[in-house]
Structure 1
Amino acid sequence: MIRRAVLVAALTFCAAGSARADFRLCNNTSARVSVAIAYTDGRNWLSEGWWNLRPSVCETLLRGPLAAQYYYVYAMDERGGEWKGKAFMCTRDREFRIDGREDCFARGFDRTGFFEIDTGRDAKSWTVQLTDPNAAPAQ
């Protein structure tokens, strides 16, 4: 179920420094989060989910070198909080892989706002750090 509560969150984006090229998300919150991702191959949109990440766990969402500059993420925690944005994609309550972002409701899907991640033109890998809004900065 898509929750409507808004959780203001600090999001930190950083390029991964390892030799492996992937798109990863780290759950640096104190709650389990469910994550969906969306992206385009230049012609078609694809959205997929859900990855369920325990606190302090990182997960590879896409394997291999990045194929696009922009990726889109939506996350919600088990307390009803969300990390969302204004880029609307199709989702559903259970595991999904959906082609296209148009006519979500007419096709039997939900329409969910994802936040945009600009990985830059030359990035081969990327890691999103999802954090609690009240977390103390790392020292």
Structure 2
Amino acid sequence: MVLFGFAPTMNRRLLLTAVLTGLALTAPARADFRLCNNTNTRVSVALAYTDGKSWLSEGWWNLRPTACETLLRGPLAAQFYYVYAMDERGGEWKGKAFMCTRDREFRIDGREDCFARGFDRTGFFEIDTGRDAKSWTVQLTDPNAPAQ
């Protein structure tokens, strides 16, 4: 198992962290890109990735506390994926890779000229799954939650 840490921005009095965990599967199993909400509040998630030719961003998946969701089904096609998440209290997991989003459900081709095309421009954080990963799980955590 590969374990990475990521500290998102502080938004008001809530400091959140994300732990990215790559799962190495030894037995035959589904190969997917999954995200788990290990916080005590609902989280909305957007995902972005490239097929090597064009960019695609899509969202929103709404995950209740302690729930996991498969965002992409099948073996991973890229090494890098990008995630943006926000919770009901105003906490965010974000980064410096800017993609196009909007307030309601979306699937947007391209990451350029977001405002000119009528979209928002949102900072996603990067996930490096490695060159040979076939599946990956992102764990969003809240450091203020009691240890389990």
Question: TM-score scaled by structure 1?
Answer: 0.92
- Provide the identity percentage: 81
Tell me, in whole angstroms, the C-alpha distance in 2 between the residues paired with 1:120 and 1:104.
29
1:60 aligns with 2:95: no
Partner of 1:27 in structure 2? 37
Q: Partner of 1:38 in structure 2? A: 48
Query: Size of the alignment, in residue pairs?
Result: 135
State the Cα distance separating 1:136 from its structure 2 match: 4.2
Instruction: Supply the distance in 2 between the matched residues of 1:137 and 1:17 (Cα, whole angstroms).
Output: 25
CA contact (8 A) 1:8 1:83 kept: no
Q: Give how far 1:10 is off.
A: 2.0
- Partner amino acid for 2:73? R
Please give the root-mean-square deviation of Cα atoms over the aligned residues, in Å: 1.6
SS in 2 for 1:72: strand
**Per-residue deviation at 1:14?**
1.5
Cα drift, residue 9 of structure 1 = 2.1
Maintained 8 Å contact 1:22/1:66: yes
- TM-score norm. by structure 2 comes to 0.86
Q: Per-residue CA shift, 1:79-107, capped at 9, x if unaligned?
A: 11100000000000000000000000000
What one-letter code is carried by the residue in structure 2 that aligns with 1:5?
N
Structure 1: give runs of 5+ residues left out of the alignment.
none
Mean alpha-carbon deviation: is it higher for 108-117 or for 6-15?
6-15
Gaps of 5+ in 2: 1-9
